Chain A
Amino acid sequence: MTTVESAGSSLASPPGAGIRKVKDRTATTLVYAAFAIALVPLIWLLWTVVSKGIYMLTRNGWFTGTERGITYRDAGGGAWHAVLGTLEQVALCTAISVPIALLVAIYLVEYGRGPLARMTTFMVDILTGIPSIVAALFIYAVFITTFGGERSGWLVSLALVMLMIPVIVRTTEEMLKLVPNELREASYALGVPKWKTIVRIVLPTAMSGIVTGVVLGIARVAGETAPLLILVGYSPDKNANLFSGPQASLPGLIKDQFSNLGSTTILEGGKRVTVHYAADRMWGAALTLILLVMILNLAARVIARRSAVN
């Protein structure tokens, strides 16, 4: 029998091990530090909005009332008119954007070859970079100046469509590219036509990613303010009609309260106290907007999970 020598020293401390450890530690520290720094503004922002906004959300009537007849000297007021306006405008925008964006992405990934596809990609790139206020001015020029329409909620939706389409096209394109070609070939080899392969195999496989893209698109447009200012203005009263008159929205409510900030002095328990009703409502609306996007996000994730790849 031969004796097995102890591997000992050479494996325990090979040359250069010390340096490598130092590098490893340094890199680890840097990565964690970067992570912490990135979290600071996020947590700070959330804390500010939640701590200042939660008061209004817990008051009676915030989700049912409106701002009708309420000035910075008055307490109370609600955001229902604004929630309704935002939901309507975003819903119409989504209903228009999603089909167009999906079809464009399908064209680009599954069919697009040659100059037309390159031009489409180029146009989507340009659209991605358009500032929202420019989109709003364009809609204003076409629908109000040229066709003589009136400022109303659906024009906001149209301006938002221009912002939403590129977001959804981009994410959907990436998701469709991730679907392995083998699945398409497996389907073709079964004698399934191309369009049916796309509808029944490719889209379901990419569905959860596509839904994420749609949610990103919604989050992108739900807080847009420039199109509101230009195309619909703001109404402290409820207006459920997308096609006529000024309509409230959450960003609109925030902006309105911000423009009318002011303090007032009241008597509370025999003492004079300075209160900021408008600021409270502004933060309340900000928190409501964040919650709204979050709820839409969660809802979309539940839908996506149902159709997810197992």
Chain B
Amino acid sequence: MAKRIDAKNLNIYYGKFLAVSEVTFTIAPRSVTAFIGPSGCGKSTVLRTINRMHEVISGATVEGDLLLDGENIYGAGIDPVDVRRTIGMVFQRPNPFPTMSIYDNVVAGLKLQSGRLRKSELDETVERSLRGANLWEEVKSRLAKPGAGLSGGQQQRLCIARAIAVEPQVLLMDEPCSALDPISTLAIEDLIQTLKEKYTIVIVTHNMQQAARVSERTAFFNLAGVGKPGQLVEIDDTQKIFTNPTDQRTEDYISGRFG
């Protein structure tokens, strides 16, 4: 069920400001791809164009094609709401819905998308998703408690459970561990290894060790210069990026000689 992503000549704008220019890449199904690069180079922006979350910000637009198994998600007649049902997202800061219990948080996507569902189906989804997010054992006895009462790491796994409950094809993660301690980070990284068997995963991270640990492919983004748009410098196997990158700028960045 995982799908392949092809980006072709993406130009991403905030209003008239060109934030990222000419991004082209291919992401294979059932793989983990890491986006790395300095702050402000547009890696989160690129990530948000993959499920059309970019255009939620007023004035934000995208040019170019983004193909999901060959189908252009920016094509005419494509509803961004449908795109987001296929491509899930986990954010930097855990954001469970504060009015909902753990149970309701997990099924929020299902309930809000399609309305009435049988209780047994929901129960099944909750257990499967929480197990998938490696949280089931910790919360199974208190599913009716508020989701906001969990620890930060648990909340983030709850958000992952919520994202995979709607059975997306692709899972986007925007610095999912940056607000978490090392133990929770390890739990999420382990989880990513399990999730990639079913989903195509794209993860933005500032932590290069994390990129090296979890991903098979790594994309390095950089600013073309001060006041210029961000660009994709290179995308290659993680092994190669971290040991023998093609581009000098990549080597400078990962060896700390940046700027």
* A residues at B contact (CB < 8 Å): 113, 180, 182-193, 196-197, 200-201, 204-205, 207, 307, 309-310
Contact = CB atoms under 8 A, between A and B. Distances in A.
Contact of B93 (A182, A190, A192): A182
B172 to A, nearest CB: 8
A192 B113 contact: yes
B58 interface: yes
B113 A191 contact: yes
7 contacts: A187-B112, A189-B88, A191-B81, A191-B86, A201-B99, A307-B99, A310-B146
Interface in B120-169: 146, 148-149, 159, 162-163, 166
Q: Give chain A's interface secondary structure class.
A: helix
A192 B81 CA distance: 6
Contacts of B25: none
B14 interface: no
B64 interface: no
A151 to B, nearest CB: 45
A113 B58 CA distance: 9
Contacts, number: 77
Interface string B47-69: 00001010010100000000000
Given A189-B89, A190-B108, A196-B112, 11 more contacts: A182-B91, A185-B53, A186-B95, A187-B108, A189-B53, A189-B163, A190-B166, A192-B108, A201-B97, A201-B99, A310-B148
B98 A182 contact: no
B38 interface: no
A188 B112 CA distance: 10
A190 B109 contact: yes
Contacts of B83: 191
Nearest to A196: B112
Closest 9 CB pairs of A and B: A191-B85, A190-B109, A310-B146, A189-B89, A182-B95, A191-B84, A192-B112, A204-B99, A309-B98
Contact of B99 (A180, A185, A196, A310): A310
Contacts of B96: 186
Given A190-B84, A190-B113, A191-B113, A185 B91 contact: yes
A191 B166 contact: yes
B257 to A, nearest CB: 35
Contact of B98 (A183, A190, A191): A183
A186 B99 CA distance: 14
A205 B53 contact: no
Nearest to A186: B95
A18 B108 CA distance: 58
Given A192-B113, A196-B112, A186 B149 contact: no
B252 interface: no
B99 A192 contact: no
A201 B112 CA distance: 10
Contacts of A201: 97, 99, 112
Contacts of B82: 191
A191 B109 contact: yes
A199 to B, nearest CB: 9
A190 B99 contact: no
A183 to B, nearest CB: 6
A152 to B, nearest CB: 41
Contact of B53 (A113, A188, A197): A188
B81 A205 contact: no
A8 B53 CA distance: 59
